[in-house]
């Protein structure tokens, strides 16, 4: 089924089209969201939200971009929103912990994330890489994840992020530089 | 026959160790950066579609919603308008006062005639 056919059926509220959309784009969306959030539970939750929003706003989709581009955009936006809300909660918890010494549950960082798709030999390295990715600024993180995890070209990333191709190149260059620096620090701590 | 200098030998060894460490570090960083090269896509739970339908049919209860009646909306709009009006008027009045003070003759005239006639001149 082509994108155009799916769209026509979705706009007619065809339930088989919904099912088809989830089967086809579910793994793309989940993998991207998981890469950004680095938490399987939150990734499942946001993936569901992405599809609910897609179903609700499919009539507003004008078809100016590819369906997959639009879905990636929603997935990235929703993931980043959750990250921002997490940061706010963390800040709030920190302020609370200053006034209430016993209450510091939210300031504890979760354990390092392990992506289920990483091959066994690379698991340790990947763990450090994900730890470093978490520290990247939002745009660099998005570009890097879409490229490395979803194998998207720079042109496709530019369309998803609604920026120019040169901006994506610059984001990727800065992301790699920043990751090298962060990984270098981890190495120094790992092997003093 | 080459005469070895202990200090030079020591420095060469240190330099060699630093180079080895740097090389090892760069290799480790490269390995970490390339660790996602053969990554496979993570798969969502098998019942994803059922969960989406569930979520779609049950709206979230914990979302923060502010519901306002039309009169309340007008009250808020009127309050904002009043606040803006007061601020603008204060700015205009302050500007006029500064303009009078900047002109000494104006200040003198205001004070002098103000003393003689409290009413407007």
Question: CA A24 → CA A48, B55, B76, distances in Å?
Answer: 14, 19, 47
Chain B residues lying within 8 Å of A34, measured CB to CB? 42
The answer to whether B55 touches A41, Cβ cutoff 8 Å, is: no
| Contact status of B58 with chain A (Cβ, < 8 Å) | no
Taking only the tens place, the pLDDT of each residue in A19-63 is 999 999 999 999 999 999 999 999 999 999 999 999 988 888 888
| Contact status of A117 with chain B (Cβ, < 8 Å) | yes
Interchain proximity B42–A117, CB inside 8 Å: yes
| Contact status of B57 with chain A (Cβ, < 8 Å) | no
Interchain proximity A27–B42, CB inside 8 Å: yes
In this structure, which topology does domain A1-110 adopt according to CATH?
Rna Polymerase Sigma Factor; Chain: A (1.10.1740)
Confidence of residue B46 (pLDDT cuts 50, 70, 90): very high
The string of DSSP codes covering A119-171 is -GGGHHHHHHHHHHHHTS-HHHHHHHHHHHTS---HHHHHHHHTS-HHHHHHH
- pLDDT at residue B9 greater than cutoff 50: yes
The answer to whether A53 touches A70, Cβ cutoff 8 Å, is: no
Helix orientation angle between A123-134 and B6-33, rounded to the nearest 10 degrees = 80
Give the residue from chain A lying closest to B40, CA to CA: A117
Structure tokens at B18: 């630093």
Taking only the tens place, the pLDDT of each residue in A88-146 is 888 877 777 777 665 555 444 555 788 999 998 999 999 999 999 999 999 999 999 99
What burial class does residue A39 get, using C-beta atoms within 10 Å of its C-beta: 0-12 exposed, 13-18 middle, 19+ buried? middle
Interchain proximity B32–A118, CB inside 8 Å: no
Nearest to A30 by CA among B41, B88, B119: B41
Chain A residues lying within 8 Å of B51, measured CB to CB? 44, 48
CB count in 10 Å sphere of residue B86? 10
Looking at residue A108, its pLDDT comes to 47
Nearest to A14 by CA among A1, A30, A27: A1
- pLDDT at residue B117 greater than cutoff 60: no
Across the interface, of B29, B38, B51, the residue whose CB is closest to A48 is B51
Helix orientation angle between A138-148 and A123-134, rounded to the nearest 10 degrees = 150
Give the A:B interface size as CB pairs under 8 Å. Answer: 93
Looking at residue B70, its pLDDT comes to 83
Q: Which residues contact B14 (CB under 8 A, 6 or more apart)?
A: none
| Residue ranges with strand state E in chain B | none
Q: Which residue has the tokens 């470093």?
A: A132
| Contact status of B33 with chain A (Cβ, < 8 Å) | yes
Helix (H) or strand (E) holding A88, with range, is helix A67-99
Confidence of residue B86 (pLDDT cuts 50, 70, 90): very high
Distance from CA of B23 to the nearest CA of A (A): 12
> Would you say domain A112-192 falls under CATH 3.90.1150.10?
no
Domain extents in chain A? 1-110, 112-192
What pTM value is reported for the model?
0.73
| Contact status of A18 with chain B (Cβ, < 8 Å) | yes
Structure tokens at A68: 């997959």
| Contact status of A135 with chain B (Cβ, < 8 Å) | no
Looking at residue A109, its pLDDT comes to 53
Q: Among residues 59-118 of chain B, which lie with CB inside 8 Å of chain A?
A: none
CA-based angle A182:A186:A187, to the nearest 5?
Answer: 115
Looking at residue B2, its pLDDT comes to 64
Taking only the tens place, the pLDDT of each residue in A169-185 is 999 999 999 999 999 99
């Amino acid at each position: 089924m082509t994108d155009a056919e799916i769209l026509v059926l979705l706009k007619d509220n065809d339930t088989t089209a919904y099912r088809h959309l989830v089967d086809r784009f579910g793994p793309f969306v989940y993998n991207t969201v998981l890469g950004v959030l680095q938490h399987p539970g939150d990734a499942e939750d946001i993936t569901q939200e992405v599809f609910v929003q897609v179903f609700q706003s499919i009539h507003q989709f004008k078809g100016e971009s590819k369906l997959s581009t639009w879905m990636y955009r929603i997935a990235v936006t929703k993931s980043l929103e959750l990250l921002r809300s997490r940061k706010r909660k963390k800040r709030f918890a920190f302020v609370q912990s200053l006034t209430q010494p016993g209450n510091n549950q939210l300031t504890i960082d979760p354990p390092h994330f392990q992506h289920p798709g990483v091959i066994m030999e690379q698991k340790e390295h990947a763990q450090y890489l994900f730890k470093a990715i978490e520290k990247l600024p939002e745009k660099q993180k998005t570009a890097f994840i879409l490229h490395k995890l979803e194998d998207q070209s720079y042109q496709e990333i530019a369309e998803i992020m609604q920026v120019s191709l040169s901006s994506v190149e610059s984001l990727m260059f800065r992301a790699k530089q920043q990751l090298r620096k962060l990984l270098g620090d981890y190495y120094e701590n790992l092997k003093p | 026959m080459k005469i070895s200098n202990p200090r030079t030998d020591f420095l060469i060894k240190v330099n060699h160790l630093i180079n080895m460490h740097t090389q090892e570090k760069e290799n480790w960083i490269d390995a970490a950066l390339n660790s996602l090269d053969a990554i496979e896509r993570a798969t969502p739970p098998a019942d994803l579609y059922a969960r989406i339908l569930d979520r779609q049919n049950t709206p979230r209860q914990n979302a923060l919603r502010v519901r306002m009646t039309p009169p309340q909306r007008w009250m808020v709009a009127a309050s904002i308008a009043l606040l803006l009006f007061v601020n603008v008027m204060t700015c205009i009045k302050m500007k006029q006062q500064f303009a009078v003070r900047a002109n000494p003759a104006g200040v003198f005239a205001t004070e002098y005639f103000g003393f003689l006639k409290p009413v407007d001149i």
